Amino acid sequence: MTYYKQAPDCETVEIDGEWMILHSGQFTITKLNETGGFCWSLLKDAQTVDELVLSFQTQFNKVNQETKNELQCFLKELEQYGLIEHAV
């Protein structure tokens, strides 16, 4: 089972439902919407995709296979940008 968590060198600011993530090691800023920010906030602690899906179900009262697929794609993008890592 794969666990994901925020990379240690990221700082986050939330302003009016938008999230800005500064990756100090790569000198990048990534902007997330409210849904992405919710997912990001959960990744302070190690999470599996299934745990994230359950949190989304609780928060948004909507989960289906498409939600899980979207979360997996989102995590893959965050990983490619170096914003998350695999937790041990």
For 76, the 3-state DSSP assignment is helix
Give me the number of domains the chain comprises: 1
> Cα separation of 68 and 33, whole Å?
18
Residue 86 — pLDDT band, cuts 50, 70, 90? very high
Least confident of 2-6, 40-44, 54-58: 54-58
Average confidence score pLDDT of the chain: 92
For 65, the 3-state DSSP assignment is helix
**Which structural domain range is residue 64 located in?**
3-87
Q: Are 37 and 56 in contact (CB under 8 A)?
A: no
Per-residue pLDDT reduced to its tens digit, 38-50:
999 999 999 999 9
Residue 17 — pLDDT band, cuts 50, 70, 90? confident
Residue 64 — pLDDT band, cuts 50, 70, 90? confident
Q: CB pairs under 8 A, 24+ apart, for 64-73?
A: 71/39
> How many other C-beta atoms can be found within 10 angstroms of the C-beta atom of residue 2?
10
| CATH at residue 77 | 3.90.930.60
With pLDDT > 70 as the criterion, what percentage of the chain qualifies? Answer: 99
